[in-house]
Structure 1
């Protein structure tokens, strides 16, 4: 297996990007000056000034309406470093001829980590790869797989592009890993992370893509076999759970969501927008309160609303779309959505199965979680809008050539 020269940076991004660093700081951010130089030299194009120019109207208006200067410009610097990293990701995608030479090692190493994490779960050292979190009403200190990331949902978000990529390889008979083993390698990480938000968005993306291309997928035997296999497994698992484990964690979470008793689900969706509206009242509905101002203007509001203890030192709006609304107002929110729609049409996302899956997934997910400087989210947006991964172009004649191992 040939290792791509970009793999070391990909390894840092996927596995250890925040390891040992204060919350909010990443190694990719620290590397942003070098990444900026690499982007400019590689593409022979200035990429930073257009971004700063587009940001200038917001900065001028935010300063005029009043901000905490220190926190504001630290956040602006953080946003700028995230932007530089995004430019580096885009540059990599248009220059790298075989991204699978990065994806496959990441998948294998991730699977090895998962295998190590399972026995570690039953030891006093489980906190090395697992995280205890409040899950839902009645479920305290539930352990979920996070590996070396700071949060299980973030880990699941990181893994999603790999999931879609290798699932499509499996469907299109391009897998070089045994089909059954590959399925385990794809399903196990998401299951152990127990990130229902990510998993739900994945299911929505798969369902919409299947409907859009139903004439193509319905004649693919592997797709039908996978649907049948998944259906049998799900029905069997639900039946066993109902009979033998009626009070299992999944059922409790689903019941709480349905009855409105799930604070995590509500807090990441419509309640996040309510909080954003409360913050907009303090400054400007059109332009928002400005980056870095949530902890200044909304600390007590968010702490008390979510029931955090008085020892809490950091608060946030756990929803990327709602946070955009709070920081940049309705102008920023509308620009965000229109930009996504523009690039969807301009890059013809629907013509590529992989990019369509990524777009639908992250479009849905931005309303259920994430945050405005989440590089894992932006990587997915960039992959969705960059016209690469041509092996998954719709209508490609050799797409379904059965060249590799069957499931």
Structure 2
């Protein structure tokens, strides 16, 4: 019994340590594209292997089978072997990351609030340091992101120690929706209100329109679904009213107080289809992907992992006319900033269909709809994959891990302790 308790405590602290690295330090002081969780993936693999995790074995077997089939198909094309297997290795690291967190969430989801609280508290400290950095001008580039978008809105975007603001915003989404459930089920206490507020402020400071828009869309869609779900209908009214009030306040403030600001200017650019960032993650990504697939005659099965780095360079430069514009240099490294567009160009129409069908299958199998928390996250990530992210975006895999952790985060868990949560707490 003592050995079992010690083992569980060790696993729990391992959960917290890796989650801490993932949220705050994953790319800190590392070359672009390299993450600490990638370096830790062999240890995660050993943990899963030593614990004989069945779900990991199934996932690994499925990954191997699909990879072999697609490699056989892609081998009939001209492929860069080095890029191909490097990308496959990165995909494998993402799978290990997903399975690692899924196992720990399965075992410790009832203690997740303790982790959320610690992450929120550490975030407060780091955001405070970031604000001091902005005020003093010391190490500003470490905590704040600056690009052409920040020039439009006239304000730097918070990224903390991650490599990009949108990435930081996406990382905070599971913690936002966790406290949102307590708001939804009327179980917010003073501490939760405070921590929830700091998460909201952090996301707003990241100025990630995609993350904020995805959150808003998820809240609205789930609210509409809840109209026909009896057990949640009685809680739904306050969400609808709050959404209307917040939405109206944003519109009024935008019209009367911020009409000439860069914040509002960018919103109008998005609505008019003139925002380069949004266009790049949506229309441009799919257009470029389809152009490459058509040119390479690979519409069904794609061009293969890592091959867009080689075959997409000329298409990206041609599409954006970098060669004709003196203000831009021709891109040497290219990628598609949209998960589904990248899936399409890598594995073709067949691969994209497999991806979407797998998500729907796991949605049904793990009964995502039984949990308001997991449902909110599923709607968020399902929508954003069509207009952002990428195939190796770890915040997305962490969200999928929460979504597809079966028999977890029941609605009653947020309302109060249930027999299920008490049983886990004692084990």
Q: What TM-score do you get using the length of structure 1 for normalisation?
A: 0.89
Find the counterpart in structure 2 of residue 71 from structure 1: 83
Are the structure 2 counterparts of residues 179 and 104 from structure 1 closer, same or farther at C-alpha, using a change threshold of 3 Å?
closer
Find the counterpart in structure 2 of residue 278 from structure 1: 291
Find the counterpart in structure 1 of residue 191 from structure 2: 178
- Aligned to 2:329, what secondary structure does the other structure show? coil
**Alpha-carbon deviations, 1:92-142, whole Å to 9, x = none?**
112224122222101111122222222322332221111002228x71775
Q: 1:296, CA displacement in angstroms?
A: 0.3
Find the counterpart in structure 1 of residue 305 from structure 2: 291
Find the counterpart in structure 2 of residue 93 from structure 1: 105
Q: Is the 8 A contact 1:114 1:189 kept in 2?
A: yes
Q: Is the 8 A contact 1:133 1:142 kept in 2?
A: no
Find the counterpart in structure 2 of residue 54 from structure 1: 66
Find the counterpart in structure 1 of residue 147 from structure 2: 133
Equivalence map 1:209-224=2 (5 Å) = 209-214=222-227, 216-217=231-232, 219-220=234-235, 224=237
In 1: Cα distance, 2:414 partner to 2:25 partner: 38
State the superposition RMSD in angstroms. Answer: 2.6
Q: Is the 8 A contact 2:223 2:240 kept in 1?
A: no
In 2: Cα distance, 1:197 partner to 1:101 partner: 28
Equivalence map 1:218-367=2 (5 Å) = 219-220=234-235, 224=237, 228=241, 231-232=244-245, 234-283=247-296, 284-306=298-320, 309-310=328-329, 312-367=331-386
Find the counterpart in structure 1 of residue 178 from structure 2: 165
In 1: Cα distance, 2:234 partner to 2:95 partner: 42
Equivalence map 1:171-210=2 (5 Å) = 171-175=184-188, 177-210=190-223
- Aligned to 2:277, what secondary structure does the other structure show? helix
Q: What TM-score do you get using the length of structure 2 for normalisation?
A: 0.85
Q: Which runs of 5+ in 2 are unaligned?
A: 1-8, 323-327, 419-427
**Alpha-carbon deviations, 1:287-329, whole Å to 9, x = none?**
1011111110111322453466327442111100000000001
In 2: Cα distance, 1:395 partner to 1:123 partner: 41
Q: 1:59, CA displacement in angstroms?
A: 1.1
Count of aligned residue pairs for this structure pair: 395
- Is 1:35 the counterpart of 2:44? The answer is yes
In 2: Cα distance, 1:321 partner to 1:103 partner: 29
Q: Which runs of 5+ in 1 are unaligned?
A: 400-407
Are the structure 2 counterparts of residues 318 and 30 from structure 1 closer, same or farther at C-alpha, using a change threshold of 3 Å?
same
Q: Is the 8 A contact 2:366 2:407 kept in 1?
A: no
